[in-house]
Structure 1
Amino acid sequence: MAIYSRFIKIIAVPAAFTMLLVGCGDSTDYVATVDGEKILQTELDEALRSQYGAEMLNTLIDNKIIELEAKKEDITVSDDAIKAEYDELVESYGGEDALQETLDANGLTKDSVQDNIRMYLLTKNVIANSIDISDEELKQYFEENKDDYGQQEQVAASHIFLEDEATAKEVEAKLKAGEDFAELAKTYSIDTDTSEDGGDLGYISRGQMDEQFEEAAFALEKDEVSGVVQSAEGYHIIKVTGKVPAEEAVFEDVKDEVYETLLESRINEEYSTWLTEKQEQYKITKK
């Protein structure tokens, strides 16, 4: 098992399954009928138990070990920490509604996700308490991964995307005659995602776009417009509206971020061994 940062892995297990381990549902309850023939709650319980029971029980045992270890070391998780992680999860799904739709589809609730977050953070904090990371390790990791922390060169670009060269040349002539780039993008561009915004692509870094497109875009100065650029997808006329130069990272500026990255890596590496050692220290019985 890995410890996940910045997102919570949602497993599509019906929420009702959590009740099975305490033996809910009597033999007369039913959950559906087919032509009057009942599918009993006990049948559903048994099917879910046989498919997920061992895995879920082992997870609950592991969680209990973590909670007991946290109690020994007086480690807790604050409501603010849970909220911050939940807010990141919401953002990663594109908003509260999109996340709720996923939860509903999997029979989960906001409360169950927040409980999941609490356990994830508790696990992370308990294991982190036993990990020491020296400044030398941080500096070495930073040097080996410096490009990940620096500012990449970027350009803010807009484009008019055209299917054929003849139309591209026509639009190019209109631009040279002084017509407005954004208006021409609305009229001619076949990129429906950007045309209404005047072809605005926002800031792009190298490696995001077609090679020919990037070569032309990064060669332009601010407010400069390209000629017709042919890419694998079609023809473009590109305008650069902003530039951000590359900037090398400074260790002291990103030290905390490097620490969190390295800590997470170490936790993932050591989790299985740590848990196995703890399991041997507790008396565990299964009925």
Structure 2
Amino acid sequence: MKLLGIISFILIGAVAVSISLNGCGGKAGAEGTVIAEFEWNGKHHITLEEMLQEISELPTYKQPQYQEAEGGYEEYMNLMAESRLILCLAKDRELDEDPGVLKKVQDYYHELLVDKITNIEVDQKLKLTEEDYQLYYEENKGDYVVQEQVRLTCITLTNEERAKETFQRIKDGEDIAALAVELAANGELVGPGSNNEIPGDTDFFDNTVYSRRAKLFSDMAFELEVGQMNEEIVHIELDGENYYLMFRKEEVQPERQQTLDESSVRRNVERHVENQKREELMTDWLIRLHEQAKVQTFSDRIPDAPEETEEEGGSEPSDDDDTPAEVEEENDSSDDGDTPTEPETEP
């Protein structure tokens, strides 16, 4: 499949040559150093200059594969020969006259023309200033606020008796971080705190990371004072699994307004401003085109879409489809999982 993709890519270049020569590309008589030739309704040559030109027109990341790798030029030479042969065979079978192929060529040609004139009338006229960025940032400051975040040392277990035993050891004076290391070594940690590098460390998270089903844990984490532990084991049931959590609050990062100088904010603002300005230029240009061409539309002549009957509209939901809407929303949201880094079935 990979080889076929490369040949298809090279065929694009061969098609361009064939359009100009009305053949399979590289007909005899081409100037340059011949590096390959074949017979197909006449002799065809591939020159060194053609090959180097084609390689230079490849995507930048692909060029070293042939320019620098040992045997790269020879590999590309063979690919060129194979692509030309395939093109010759297709033309022999008159696929170049196939209505479907010609329609796609015409569509692509029109697409290129539209892209080119849009680039001239919109993209090349797009001028962005620091004032544009600053104005957008000020108007949308609320989008660039980092919510308050906390970091915990947390032990999450699935065995209730083991959880009670561990919690009692903490109450008796053992350190939760040391116990997290011990439990991690036994492969017992799951969910929040199952950090392979630093067992028990949840890293920083805000109060929107965990779903509603794990909100008890999240809310309690934010209510605790730094250094304080939950007084009782927190029990959460998710998808039929039971999780038992105990945790100590280690750090708090207060809510913070991000500035335009921060690289992530800067990139986001620049992208939004560019899209916004491009849309404005595009709209203005299309309005002028409409006025220039005196465009008229007659919406009343377009028949209404036929109403769907009950049969056409699809079957009624089955009795088995009893998933509550709010659960479906949770499942659809990539940012609203039960854990940011652990399996979805864990809190």
Under a length normalisation based on structure 1, what TM-score does the superposition of the two structures give? 0.52
The 3 A distance-change label for structure 1 pair 271 and 53 is: farther
Residue 249 of structure 2 corresponds to 240
Letter in 2 for 1:264: E
> 1:60 matched to which residue of 2?
112
Aligned residue in 2 for 1:204:
205
Question: How far apart are the structure 2 equivalents of 1:168 and 1:54?
Answer: 69
Moved more, 252-261 or 269-278: 252-261
Compute the displacement of 1:153 (Å): 0.3
Larger Rg, first or second structure (1 or 2): 2
Residues 66, 126 of structure 1: 8 Å contact kept: no
Task: Give the drift of 1:26.
Answer: 2.3
1:219-275 CA-to-partner distances (Å, cap 9, x unmatched) read: 222233334222343222223322111235679999967863651341353364356
Residue of structure 1 in register with 2:125 after alignment: 126
Change (3 A) 1:185 1:264: farther
Do the aligned partners of 2:126 and 2:278 also contact (CA within 8 Å) in 1?
A: no
On the 8 A contact 2:156/2:194 being kept in 1, the answer is no
Matches within 5 A, 1:56-95: 56-65=108-117, 68=120
Instruction: Label 1:133 to 1:171 Cα distance change in 2 as closer, same or farther (>3 A).
Output: same
Determine if the alignment matches structure 1 residue 170 to structure 2 residue 165: yes
Pair 1:49–1:153, CA change in 2 (3 A) = farther
Q: Unpaired runs of 5+ in structure 1?
A: 1-13, 32-37, 71-122, 282-287
Q: Which of 258, 274, 296 is the equivalent residue of 1:264?
A: 274
| Alignment map for 1:78-227 (pairs within 5 Å) | 123=123, 126-128=125-127, 133=132, 139=138, 141-142=139-140, 146-177=141-172, 178-179=174-175, 180-186=178-184, 187=186, 188-191=188-191, 194-195=195-196, 197-209=198-210, 210-226=214-230, 227=232
The CA deviation at 1:174 is 2.2
Identity of aligned residues (%): 20
Given that 2:152 and 2:251 are in contact with CA atoms closer than 8 Å, whether structure 1 keeps it comes out as yes
* Bigger proportion of residues as helix: 1
Alpha-carbon displacement from aligned partner over 1:8-47 (angstroms, at most 9, x marks no partner): xxxxxx644743762558295866xxxxxx9945589879
* Contact 2:151–2:252 (8 Å) recurs in 1: yes
The count of residues paired between Structure 1 and Structure 2 equals 207
Computed over aligned residues only, the root mean square deviation of the Cα atoms, in angstroms, reads: 4.9
Residue 16 of structure 2, aligned match among 3, 18, 22 = 22
Give the partner amino acid of 1:26.
C
Higher-RCO chain (CA-CA 8 Å, sequence separation at least 6): 1
Measured after TM superposition, the shift of residue 155 of structure 1 is 0.7
Gap runs ≥5 in structure 2: 1-7, 26-39, 41-80, 293-347
